[in-house]
Amino acid sequence: MLHTVEWKVRLYLSEDEGTTKARVVVNTGTTTLTGHGVAQCSPADTDVPEVGDELAAGRAMHDLAQQLVNIAERDIQGMGTPATGRGARPVSGWPM
């Protein structure tokens, strides 16, 4: 069975005095989730804005990814699949 969907993802970055903030928003058509990330340049480090962008964006995407995995795990549990193992991950046909 073929299943194709498109989710819109937007990434917003802002930098102020050595602190870069990232916000990533995914719209699935039925749900909107937001991930957040922050990176701070140490005063002893060379200020390279691209590094702050990469770290903050990566952290925001990691936050969003964890939210999506948590939702999927709750959905799987809601189908009556028992949870076992570390972090109460469900045993199912969807390997994590």
Q: How many domains does the chain have?
A: 1
Reported confidence tier of residue 80, pLDDT bands at 50, 70, 90? confident
User: What pLDDT shows up at residue 89?
Assistant: 52
Mean pLDDT of 72-86: 76
The answer to whether the CB of 76 falls within 8 A of the CB of 60 is: no
User: What pLDDT shows up at residue 95?
Assistant: 53
The domain of 12 spans: 8-79
**Is residue 94's pLDDT more than 90?**
no
User: What pLDDT shows up at residue 18?
Assistant: 85
Mean pLDDT, the chain, whole residue set: 87
Q: Is residue 88 domain-resident?
A: no
pTM listed for this prediction: 0.79
Residue in 66, 18, 8, 65 with CA at minimum distance from that of residue 38: 18
**Is residue 21's pLDDT more than 90?**
yes
CATH, residue 28: 3.30.160.240
**Is residue 39's pLDDT more than 90?**
yes
Q: Is residue 39 domain-resident?
A: yes
